[in-house]
């Protein structure tokens, strides 16, 4: 008895390990798994991360102090008068050190503008992540949609094949005319064509997912998800409240607005006089001279009016763009929410009765056809009604998931890497 139990346990562990190995080799992946894989491997995100690094390097550059300048000059004296009057010739050397004193208001504004550039780059990266995650989610459910349509067309092809065999037997026995068999052959070929097209569309959707994940998915992967997955989102009022604080594009434009404002401060502070500290050491055969002073550049004739006006205009452009995009993104949220609600009602309508009634009608038509009470045309009509209903249901389920993905994109909600 113990040996039998041990054998069963060993078999169970073996099957578990085999299932785990199948999943690891490319079996099933959840929607979040595929999104994470795409976010880690996509080259466009790597480029966006590099932009953040570049912006952070810009902060380092903006925080640097100006370097001093050292000038060294040397050369012989060439007397123009007799040596008895000037003394013997000698070598002279001069070293001059110049250190700019940076305007603190210019420095503060420049560093602040660079830091705002970092925030804008991070918002760009967040936008790229949200866009890619939403795109992956839509493509995943499009793959499930294509696969569901392919399964539906396969069922129809099998049904048409069964009816064709029954009609062929009836024709051979002389019960019905050969014309019915020709019609059945045509319907089988049409169903086979639709089935082949649906399978090819499924492969196209699979290839699109492989492309978005940069080939990190195995070629024969499977998705652990369904078009009927529940969609759970906050209420519309909560989404309206949180959207301005979470939408990456609004955050980027706000960072650009801060950068434009600080650029105005920088240009206006640049009008103030700039000062350099000077120190000079002069030596010749007879004398050593140490002098210090200041060099002041006074903006007397040109006070950077053009640069200030350009900065003001750029700030106005960013502010107007921000106001418009806030309004537009709010409308996009409303539109996506309405699309989601419409798709949800369509799903409920088809799942609630239309598909069930169409299936029941097809079963009745098939039974009547087998008993000889109905002809082939009625089976075809009920089959087409069911096909249309199933197609509409699958399309409505996909539209529901796509609308939810758009809402998550707008609020930058996605699985983290």
Indicate whether 376 pLDDT > 70: no
Torsion of CA 224, 230, 235, 240, to 10 degrees: 40
- The DSSP string of 245-309 is HH-HHHHHHHHHHHHHHHHHHHHHHTTS-EEEEEEEEEE-SS-EEEEEEEEEE--SS---HHHHH
Give the separation between CA 241 and CA 234, rounded to whole angstroms: 11
pLDDT bucket at 87, cuts 50 / 70 / 90: low
Residue-range domain boundaries for the chain: 26-75+98-410
pLDDT at 17: 38
pLDDT at 253: 95
User: Which tens digits make up the pLDDT trace of 101-155?
Assistant: 988 999 999 999 999 999 999 999 999 999 999 999 999 999 999 999 999 889 8
Predicted TM-score (pTM) of the model is 0.79
User: Which tens digits make up the pLDDT trace of 379-413?
Assistant: 777 778 878 888 899 999 999 999 999 999 999 99
Which is nearest to 253 in space by CA: 311, 313, 323, 310?
323
pLDDT at 89: 67
Give the separation between CA 328 and CA 345, rounded to whole angstroms: 26
Give the separation between CA 342 and CA 344, rounded to whole angstroms: 5
**Regarding the domain with residue range 26-75+98-410, which homologous superfamily does it belong to in the CATH classification?**
Outer membrane efflux proteins (OEP) (1.20.1600.10)
Mean pLDDT taken over the chain? 84
pLDDT bucket at 301, cuts 50 / 70 / 90: confident
């Amino acid at each position: 008895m113990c040996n039998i139990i041990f054998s069963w346990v060993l078999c169970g562990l073996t099957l578990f390990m085999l299932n785990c190995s199948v999943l690891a080799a490319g079996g099933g992946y959840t929607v979040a798994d595929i999104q994470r894989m795409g976010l880690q491997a996509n080259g466009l995100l790597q480029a966006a991360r590099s932009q953040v690094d570049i912006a952070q390097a810009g902060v380092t550059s903006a925080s640097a102090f100006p370097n001093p300048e050292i000038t060294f000059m040397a050369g012989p004296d060439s007397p123009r008068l007799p040596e008895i009057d000037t003394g013997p010739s000698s070598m002279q050397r001069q070293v001059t050190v110049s250190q700019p004193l940076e305007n603190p208001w210019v420095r503060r504004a420049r560093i602040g503008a660079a830091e705002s550039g970092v925030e804008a780059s991070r918002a760009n990266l967040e936008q790229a992540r949200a866009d890619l995650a939403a795109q992956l989610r839509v493509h995943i459910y499009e793959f499930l949609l294509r696969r569901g349509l392919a399964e539906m067309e396969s069922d129809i092809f099998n049904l048409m094949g069964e009816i064709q065999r029954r009609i062929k037997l009836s024709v051979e026995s002389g019960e019905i005319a050969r014309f019915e068999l020709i019609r059945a052959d045509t319907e089988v070929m049409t169903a086979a064509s639709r089935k082949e097209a649906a399978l090819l569309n499924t492969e196209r959707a699979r290839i699109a997912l492989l492309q978005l994940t940069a080939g990190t998915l195995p070629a024969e992967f499977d998705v652990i998800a369904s078009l009927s997955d529940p969609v759970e989102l906050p209420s519309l009022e909560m989404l309206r409240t949180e959207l301005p604080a979470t939408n990456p594009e609004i955050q980027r434009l706000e960072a650009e607005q801060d950068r434009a404002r600080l650029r105005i401060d920088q240009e206006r502070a640049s009008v103030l006089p700039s000062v350099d500290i000077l120190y000079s050491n002069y030596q010749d055969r007879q004398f050593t001279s140490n002098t210090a002073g200041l060099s002041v550049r006074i903006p007397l004739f040109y006070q950077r009016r053009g640069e200030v006006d350009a900065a003001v205009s750029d700030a106005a452009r960013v502010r107007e763009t921000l106001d418009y995009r806030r309004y537009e993104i709010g409308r996009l949220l409303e539109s996506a929410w309405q699309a989601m609600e419409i798709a949800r009602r369509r799903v409920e309508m088809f799942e609630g009765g239309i598909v069930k009634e169409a299936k029941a009608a097809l079963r009745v038509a098939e039974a009547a056809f087998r008993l000889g009470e109905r002809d082939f045309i009625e089976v075809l009509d009920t089959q087409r009604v069911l096909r249309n209903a199933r197609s509409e249901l699958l399309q409505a389920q996909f539209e529901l998931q796509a609308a939810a993905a758009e809402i998550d994109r707008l609020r930058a909600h996605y699985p983290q890497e």
